[in-house]
């Protein structure tokens, strides 16, 4: 004998399991993957030969054709090292702090992490220590690194520059 409503009760656990599975899957996000990087050069150029802007600037070099876009913002030695990269397995990027009133300022990439088509670059900005003597000459600090390509590339990647938890710049660039 069939009792009305009895089969509906049997469906409740199934719907409950489906709801929990859907909720857990919706909360699962791809994780950020730390990327290996190596410093090519970290320097504070005299302003007349370096990047002369007032804002932080990000430059990405994913082919030998793009090396010349750095102009005199980095040393000739660094440009030579970038030209020697194997762009099938690595690329370079540089962050420029901009025009500073004296020596002692710096910019440093401390972490590079990728999540799908987004690469987050964590940077820190360092100011001169008051007790240490500095030169009163305009400088243009930068950090130039090479990054190993892991996983799928050959697409447009968004690079986010992050300082103290805040995104300060975003740049899309095709990485072959």
Domain contains 112:
yes
pLDDT at residue 116 greater than cutoff 60 = yes
Is 151 among the domain residues?
yes
pLDDT in tens, 56-93: 999 999 999 999 999 999 999 999 999 999 999 999 99
CA 85 to CA 175: how far, in whole Å? 14
Distance of alpha carbon 73 from alpha carbon 69, whole angstroms: 9
Averaged pLDDT for residues 43-53: 80
- Residue 159's domain comprises 33-175
Number of folded domains that form the chain: 1
Question: Does residue 15 belong to any structural domain of this protein?
Answer: no
Domain membership of residue 6 (yes or no) is: no
Whether residue 158 is contained in a domain is answered as yes
Q: Is the pTM of this model over 0.85?
A: no
pLDDT at 8: 56
Q: What is the pLDDT of residue 79?
A: 96
């Amino acid at each position: 004998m069939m009792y009305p409503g009895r089969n509906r009760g049997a469906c409740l656990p199934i719907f409950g399991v489906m709801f929990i599975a859907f909720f857990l899957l919706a909360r699962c996000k791809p994780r950020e993957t730390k990327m290996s990087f190596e410093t090519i050069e970290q320097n504070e150029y005299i302003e007349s030969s370096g990047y002369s802007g007032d804002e932080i600037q990000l430059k990405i070099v994913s082919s030998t054709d793009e090396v010349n876009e750095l102009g005199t913002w980095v040393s000739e030695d660094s440009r030579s090292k970038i030209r020697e990269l194997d762009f099938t397995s690595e690329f370079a990027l540089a962050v420029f702090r901009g025009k500073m009133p004296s020596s002692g300022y710096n910019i440093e990439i401390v972490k590079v992490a990728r999540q799908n088509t987004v690469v987050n670059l964590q940077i820190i900005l360092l100011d001169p220590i008051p007790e240490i003597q500095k030169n009163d000459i305009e400088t243009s600090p930068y950090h130039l690194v090479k990054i190993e390509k892991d996983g799928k590339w050959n697409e447009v990647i968004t690079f986010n520059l992050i300082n103290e938890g805040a995104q300060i710049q975003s740049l899309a660039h095709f990485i072959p």
